[in-house]
């Protein structure tokens, strides 16, 4: 009954919430720093990519843009643009948040899953949550980050790549 009432209160306020999802995958390569969720993580290898290859922030950026119907990270920040080379991916999230705020939305919560065989992310999850919370202007308890493995299956399972998916809920800002 509570759920029905909550749903009625949401549907009664047209366009009160938006949901978006994002996904990203990058291959590992030697000689690069591993940056995930805006946090540098000790690792033998980093991720290959045009920017700093932060797959978590790329998935989060796409989730925010998706909720807004505002295109995707590749459209906003093409990898053919030399200005995006080696770029700090926190700037991508900040730009997506700028668009969200300009349109009257704020983040309700975000939930991220990272899939990789290595390195072990558990020791770094709290720092990643805090970094994401700051970027998205929410409390850390509105940020979920889970790490899992691919159980040896496929390229991710062989430790050759890392994938991240994110779901973001946007809420109408109070006027």
CB nearer Mg ion, residue 80 or residue 141: 80
Cβ neighbours for 111, distance < 8 A, ≥ 6 positions apart? 144, 146, 166, 167
Choices 23-31, 79-87, 119-127, 167-175 (CB under 5 A): range interacting with Mg ion: 23-31
- Tokens 């290959």 appear where? 48
Choices 53-61, 77-85, 95-103, 115-123 (CB under 5 A): range interacting with Mg ion: 53-61
CB nearer Mg ion, residue 86 or residue 123: 86
CA distance 30 to 32: 6
Q: Kindly state whether residue 52 participates in binding Mg ion, applying the rule CB under 5 A.
A: no
Across the chain, where does the E strand assignment appear? 17-30, 34-36, 39-41, 45-47, 105-115, 143-148, 161-172
| Among 24, 45, 52, 62, contact with Mg ion (rule: CB under 5 A) | 24
CB nearer Mg ion, residue 56 or residue 147: 56
CB nearer Mg ion, residue 35 or residue 147: 35
Contact present, 113 and 167 (Cβ < 8 Å): no
Choices 14-22, 55-63, 77-85, 110-118 (CB under 5 A): range interacting with Mg ion: 55-63
Give the CB-nearest residue to Mg ion: 58
CB nearer Mg ion, residue 24 or residue 170: 24
Across 32-139, where does the E strand assignment appear? 34-36, 39-41, 45-47, 105-115
Across 83-142, where does the E strand assignment appear? 105-115
- Shortest approach of Mg ion to residue 27 CB, angstroms? 11
Q: Kindly state whether residue 45 participates in binding Mg ion, applying the rule CB under 5 A.
A: no
Three-state secondary-structure class, residue 1: coil
Binding mask 57-96 for Mg ion (x = CB under 5 A): -x--------------------------------------
Of the candidates 56, 134, 43, the one whose C-alpha atom is nearest the C-alpha of residue 89 is 56
Applying CB under 5 A, which residues contact Mg ion? 24, 58
């Amino acid at each position: 009954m509570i759920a029905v009432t909550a749903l009625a209160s949401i549907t009664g306020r047209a366009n009160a919430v938006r949901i978006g999802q994002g996904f990203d995958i990058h291959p590992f390569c030697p000689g690069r720093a591993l940056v995930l969720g805006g946090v540098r993580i000790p690792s033998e290898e980093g991720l290959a990519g045009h920017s700093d290859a932060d797959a978590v922030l790329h998935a989060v950026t796409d989730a925010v843009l998706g909720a807004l119907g505002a295109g995707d990270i590749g459209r906003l920040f093409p990898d053919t643009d030399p200005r995006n080379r080696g770029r700090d991916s926190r700037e991508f999230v900040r730009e997506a948040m700028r668009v969200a705020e300009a349109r009257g939305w704020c983040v309700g919560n975000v939930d991220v899953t990272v899939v990789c065989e290595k390195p072990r992310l558990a020791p770094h999850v709290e720092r990643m949550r805090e970094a994401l919370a700051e970027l998205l202007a929410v409390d850390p308890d509105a940020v979920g980050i889970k790490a899992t493995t691919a159980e040896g299956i496929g390229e991710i399972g062989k430790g050759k790549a890392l994938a991240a998916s994110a779901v973001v809920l946007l809420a109408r800002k109070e006027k």
